[in-house]
């Protein structure tokens, strides 16, 4: 029974990012089955999964092609490693296919078991690159406040989540952060007049100074990108190895940057010869309406981390796409790269990834997100702005966020003690919708196979949960 599962769960299973005691009191929701975009729990309730599991089930649940690929490969060769100058056919074929679907600078891949391991690999690889270049002093990697790059020591250090840093003495040395390009927070609605205009020297992280009202979203994008330039100059160009960012910050609350941001980041990286790393763990494999988020936002990264959508989450797999600049150094001049994982190129995971990518192509999912369901979702989100609880709503491809505010005028936030996001999430949970709360932002990233009719169903559920949350807030 559900109660039996909950008791055993509370007694033995330490869940990730969870307050163990409070979960034990409430009891877990036990998910037993899934099909297409719907989950079923142990009490038989149907739930619309607007988070694709954890941003990963791009092709939806129950795809026979992936199940068959895993079964075939498990029978044929369930495991072999890539350490002993050995390789397996699925790993080789996947490497070849990834070179085809990723931007043209990528011809090589380093496989890992997860996105966090991918970002650990990034840290080692960019430092190794500068060693090979005879500039070992270039070891600092710059990332962003409220970015998320995983939970290993290096991943959590690259990430800009202060709560994660507080536990475990992070960041590790050689990681610097700049502020995030969040227009609502910095640019759009600040009341005081600004002394800072786009083009002026930008401010650094931690400075709560005011950019002022009236700055356009596009101007703000340039200002936010130039925080990188300021940081590079403060650290010293000769010490900076790379900049890493998610095209859209996912776990930070689906923060969609202004269109000016990434091209300016690219220009700054080029100007100082710094490696640009795009963390595509969420934005990869069609999520934003192109195969990779960097293509949506106009950047040409040297390295790219991926995971999640590569297998639609059916089995763990991650990796790093290595662009020509780094590949040339590593391959031609690097000797042995002292790094790797038992599961780098796991044959079953690679077989599932191959089936998954082929299915994304067959179903034309990337084009569908770009031309059809992405714009349709954007219309739905635009209409949410009329709701009294909604201060802002935006989406890109099939990622979206709704900002909950106490007062739309000036986007006045609720007191943190209200926990407005969690109140809303609770209603979603009860009403049969999985939406995630990040502070006062409610976020979604549904499977790419979602139809227009299912988007209508999801939007109706979202509106209902917003109404219920509003009623609570007024009580």
The footprint of ligand PLP (CB under 6 A) covers: 114-116, 119, 148-150, 246, 250-251, 279, 281-282, 307, 318
Query: Helix (H, G, I), strand (E, B), or coil: what is residue 255?
Result: strand
Q: Pick from 46, 94, 113: which is nearest to 432 by CA?
A: 46
Which residue number, 172 or 331, has a Cβ lying nearer to ligand PLP? 172
Q: 82: part of which helix (H) or strand (E)?
A: none
What would the two tokens of residue 48 be?
Answer: 């619309």
Which residue number, 219 or 311, has a Cβ lying nearer to ligand PLP? 311
Q: Which residues pair with 242 in a beta bridge?
A: 141, 275
Beta-strand ranges (E) seen in 379-420 are 390-396, 399-404
Structural contact between residues 301 and 277, judged by C-beta atoms closer than 8 angstroms: yes
Minimum Å distance from CB 212 to ligand PLP? 31
Identify whether 359 is preceded by a cis peptide bond (ω within 30 of 0).
no
Which residue number, 63 or 143, has a Cβ lying nearer to ligand PLP? 143
Minimum Å distance from CB 458 to ligand PLP? 21
Which residue number, 215 or 281, has a Cβ lying nearer to ligand PLP? 281
Q: In 385-436, which ranges are continuous DSSP H helix?
A: 420-431
Which residue number, 284 or 289, has a Cβ lying nearer to ligand PLP? 284
Which residue number, 255 or 402, has a Cβ lying nearer to ligand PLP? 255
Q: What is the rounded end-to-end Cα distance, in angstroms, of the chain?
A: 35
Which residue number, 211 or 321, has a Cβ lying nearer to ligand PLP? 321
Structural contact between residues 467 and 474, judged by C-beta atoms closer than 8 angstroms: no
The two beta strands, 399-404 and 390-396, are antiparallel
Minimum Å distance from CB 251 to ligand PLP? 5
Which residue number, 154 or 329, has a Cβ lying nearer to ligand PLP? 154
The two beta strands, 390-396 and 436-438, are unpaired
Cα–Cα distance between 443 and 135 in angstroms, integer? 42
What would the two tokens of residue 355 be?
Answer: 């089936």
The CB-nearest residue to ligand PLP is 115
Cα–Cα distance between 461 and 14 in angstroms, integer? 31
Which residue number, 150 or 286, has a Cβ lying nearer to ligand PLP? 150
Cα–Cα distance between 436 and 342 in angstroms, integer? 33
Which residue number, 138 or 149, has a Cβ lying nearer to ligand PLP? 149
Largest interatomic CA distance in the chain: 67
Distances in whole angstroms, Cα of residue 389 to Cα of each of 252, 395, 406: 20, 17, 7
Minimum Å distance from CB 349 to ligand PLP? 12
Who contacts 381 (Cβ-Cβ below 8 Å, separation ≥6)? 393, 394, 395, 400, 402
Minimum Å distance from CB 3 to ligand PLP? 30
Minimum Å distance from CB 4 to ligand PLP? 29
Minimum Å distance from CB 157 to ligand PLP? 12
Cα–Cα distance between 157 and 152 in angstroms, integer? 8
Minimum Å distance from CB 147 to ligand PLP? 8
Task: For residue 357, report the phi and psi dihedrals to the nearest 5 degrees.
Answer: -65, -40
Minimum Å distance from CB 114 to ligand PLP? 4
Minimum Å distance from CB 344 to ligand PLP? 14
């Amino acid at each position: 029974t559900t109660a039996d599962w909950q008791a055993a769960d509370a007694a033995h299973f330490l869940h990730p990012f969870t307050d163990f005691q409070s979960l034990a009191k409430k009891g877990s929701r036990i998910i037993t089955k899934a099909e297409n975009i719907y989950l079923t729990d142990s009490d038989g309730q149907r739930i619309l999964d607007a988070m694709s599991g954890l941003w990963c089930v791009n092709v939806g649940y129950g795809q026979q092609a992936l199940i068959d690929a895993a079964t075939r490969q498990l029978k044929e060769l369930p495991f072999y490693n890539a350490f002993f100058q050995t390789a397996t056919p699925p790993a080789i074929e996947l490497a070849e296919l990834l070179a085809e679907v990723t931007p043209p600078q990528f011809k090589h891949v380093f496989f890992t078991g997860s996105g966090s391991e991918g970002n650990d690999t990034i840290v080692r690889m960019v430092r190794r690159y500068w060693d090979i270049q005879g500039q070992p002093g270039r070891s600092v990697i710059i990332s962003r406040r409220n970015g998320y790059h995983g939970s290993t020591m290096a991943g959590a250090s690259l990430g800009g989540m202060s709560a994660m840093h507080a536990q475990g003495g992070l960041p590790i040395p050689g990681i610097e952060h700049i502020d995030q390009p969040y227009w609502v927070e910095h640019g759009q609605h600040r009341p005081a007049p600004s002394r800072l205009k786009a083009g002026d020297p930008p401010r650094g992280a931690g400075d709560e100074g005011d950019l002022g009202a009236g700055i356009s979203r596009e101007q703000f994008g340039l200002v936010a990108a130039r925080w990188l330039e300021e940081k590079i100059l403060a650290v010293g160009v000769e010490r900076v190895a790379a900049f890493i960012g998610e095209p859209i910050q996912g776990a930070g609350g689906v923060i969609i940057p202004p269109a000016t941001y990434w091209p300016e980041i690219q220009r700054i990286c080029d100007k100082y010869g710094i490696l640009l790393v795009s963390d595509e763990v969420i934005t990869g494999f069609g999520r934003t309406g192109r195969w990779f988020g960097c293509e949506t936002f106009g950047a040409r990264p040297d390295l790219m981390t991926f995971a999640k959508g590569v297998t639609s989450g059916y089995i763990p797999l991650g990796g790093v796409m290595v662009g020509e600049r780094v590949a040339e150094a590593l391959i031609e001049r690097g000797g042995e790269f002292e790094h790797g994982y038992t599961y780098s190129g796991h044959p079953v995971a690679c077989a599932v990834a191959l089936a998954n990518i082929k299915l994304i192509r067959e179903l034309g999912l990337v084009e569908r997100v770009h031309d059809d369901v992405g714009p349709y979702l954007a219309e739905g989100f635009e209409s949410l702005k009329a709701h009294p609880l909604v201060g802002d709503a935006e989406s890109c491809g099939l990622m979206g966020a709704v900002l909950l505010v106490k007062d739309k005028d000036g986007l006045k936030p609720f007191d943190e003690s209200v926990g407005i996001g969690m109140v809303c999430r609770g209603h979603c949970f009860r009403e049969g919708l999985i939406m995630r709360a990040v502070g006062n932002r409610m976020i979604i990233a549904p499977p790419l196979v979602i139809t227009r009719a299912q988007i209508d169903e999801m939007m109706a559920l979202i509106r209902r949960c917003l109404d219920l949350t509003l009623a609570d807030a007024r009580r």
